[in-house]
Amino acid sequence: MPRIAPKMPKRLAVAALELFGERGIDDVTVEQIAARVGVTKGSFYSHYRSKHEIILAACTHYYQTHLRRLHAETARLAHPRDRLRRALELSIRICVADERNRVFTSDLFAMALHDEPVRQSWAQFYNAVREMLVGLVSAVHAESGSNGSDARHSVDLMLAAIEGVKLRAGFEPHVADPAEQRAIVDGMMHYLCSSRQPGPAEAP
């Protein structure tokens, strides 16, 4: 076989991510990942030290792909409100309709609770998404002179809601209906764009 194995580590990571989305992280074997790119397990271990390493590589690939897509889809629009809506639409669509995403990230959440490297990688990704959304919400508020610190709390709650909607869609498939998605996005836009004080205790 050729001595040059271009991008084999990357191809393995991509294959792993696909399989993790199809079957869940624990139900994918190293042998299956290797077979997906046409090699055997021995080859796999000449590129990755362990199954744990390929999991982290698959995560990294997923984060980069997701963030790139989010940026690409919103960069086309000029108005901050439209960009925010588009970001929410994309996020909700992926969360409710992309079963592979749900399977993979659900396993990842569970794994993150007892695996520090996985937890840290997810936290960084989550923060990157949050910063992007906070920027979008702040831009919307700047048009109506609102409180920026409110944006962060609102975004936190809506990001949490997005993750929760993803879980809910796993056992209530009708959430993926376009009308349901629209209602969810409308609810989130209303919540994020309403200019209000954070809570009674902080009311002037």
Partner DNA sequence: CCGCACTCATACCAAAGGGTATGCTTCGCG
Partner DNA sequence: CGCGAAGCATACCCTTTGGTATGAGTGCGG
Q: Contact positions toward a second copy, by CB under 8 A? A: 23-24, 26-27, 99, 102-103, 106-107, 109-110, 112-114, 119-120, 122-123, 126, 153-154, 156-165, 167-168, 170-172, 182-184, 186-188, 190-191, 196, 198-201
Query: How far from chain centre, in Å, is Cα 171?
Result: 19
Provide CB contacts within 8 A for 108, sequence distance 6+: 25, 59, 118, 122
Q: Between 50 and 89, how does the x/- string for binding to DNA read (CB under 7 A)?
A: xxx-------------------------------------
Give residue for tokens 């937890």: 119
Candidates 15, 20, 47, 122; binder of DNA (CB under 7 A) is 47
Q: Residue 106's closest CA among 165, 159, 52, 156?
A: 165
Q: Residue 63 binds which one of DNA, a second copy, none, with CB within 5 to 8 A depending on kind?
A: none
Q: Are 37 and 58 in contact (CB under 8 A)?
A: no
Q: d(Cα 158, Cα 55) in Å, to the nearest integer? A: 28
Among 22, 24, 30, 56, binds DNA (CB under 7 A): 30
- In 3-state terms, what secondary structure has residue 155? helix
Residue ranges that bind DNA, judged by CB under 7 A: 1-5, 8, 27-31, 34, 38-43, 45-47, 49-52
